Amino acid sequence: MYDLIIIGSGPAGLSAAVYAKRAGLNMLIIEKNPVSGGQIIDTYEVDNYLGIPGVNGFDLAMKFREHADKLGAEFADGTVTGIEKVSDNAKGKAVYKVNTDNGSYETRTVIIASGAHHSKLGIVGEEEYIGKGVSYCATCDGAFYRGKVAAVNGGGDVAVEDAIFLARFCEKVYLIHRRDELRAAKILQNELFGLGNVEVIWDSVVKEIQGEDKVTNLKIENVKEKKESDLKVDGIFVAIGIHPTTDNFADIVKCDENGYIIAGEDCATNVPGIFVAGDCRKKRLRQIVTAVADGANAVTAVQDYLIL
């Protein structure tokens, strides 16, 4: 019987593991991927994590994992398929069973830190140039394109917000959208259209991402005219959606309409003993620093729950 099981080994899960071990909790972290770190392992450079500017994403992930290992955190491989209540303990609190494709584990508390994943274009060159000109987070990587030319793919609020953000320091920003009008809020559209260094490429899709060591060109197709053209850029930001990895938990904890688990800053869900941390939590900003903070807050809440 564990005091705590953490689902996921991204920044939120590893932070929770560190805080749990320092608190003396008997804990287990379950990870489905062969390498810890979550989304940051695919990030070429992280420049906004306090005190460690310009660090490679994979290297930062390894530092997080090494910290957890040094404290003796226990890890198990497996994809979690669900959580179920199996009994009540002597205090009348639930005992949970976390089921995976590699066995089941009983625990007094759970932190869901399963993260989120970005929707991808699924085109030639996308996977090859992730971290080398292909990004899914303008807030994370936009500063690397100061004085350069960037493209944003999408037409919703996030895409338009990304284009506005990038326009602050990029020489030129292209917003590529498959339709002839944007889906973003009008107030965002008005701000976008007032920017002199932003150009919208209407009725178009990106067919291929090209480059050598990094992105240099996009193959664009006008879907109405069926004509292809080249667009010289230094990078492309894909903003066509992000989805929390919460499908296997939606039947036990409360989620919003987009699947994000609802919890406040204490990371407590609507189910006693089950907490959430990181990108799968409903919140305004999803960054490494907020994920790490969630891990710490969640364990503090776990300690309070176990004591009472």
Q: Which residues are catalytic?
A: 137, 140-141
HEC string for the chain: CEEEEEECCCHHHHHHHHHHHHCCCCEEEEECCCCCCHHHHHCCCECCCCCCCCECHHHHHHHHHHHHHHCCCCEEECCEEEEEEEEECCCCCEEEEEEEECEEEEEEEEEECCCEEECCCCCECCCCCECCCEECCHHHHHHHHCCCEEEEECCCHHHHHHHHHHCCCCCEEEEECCCCCCCCCHHHHHHHHCCCCEEEECCEEEEEEEECCCEEEEEEEECCCCEEEEEECCEEEECCCEEECCCCCCCCCCECCCCCECCCCCCECCCCCEEECCCCECCCCCCHHHHHHHHHHHHHHHHHHHHC
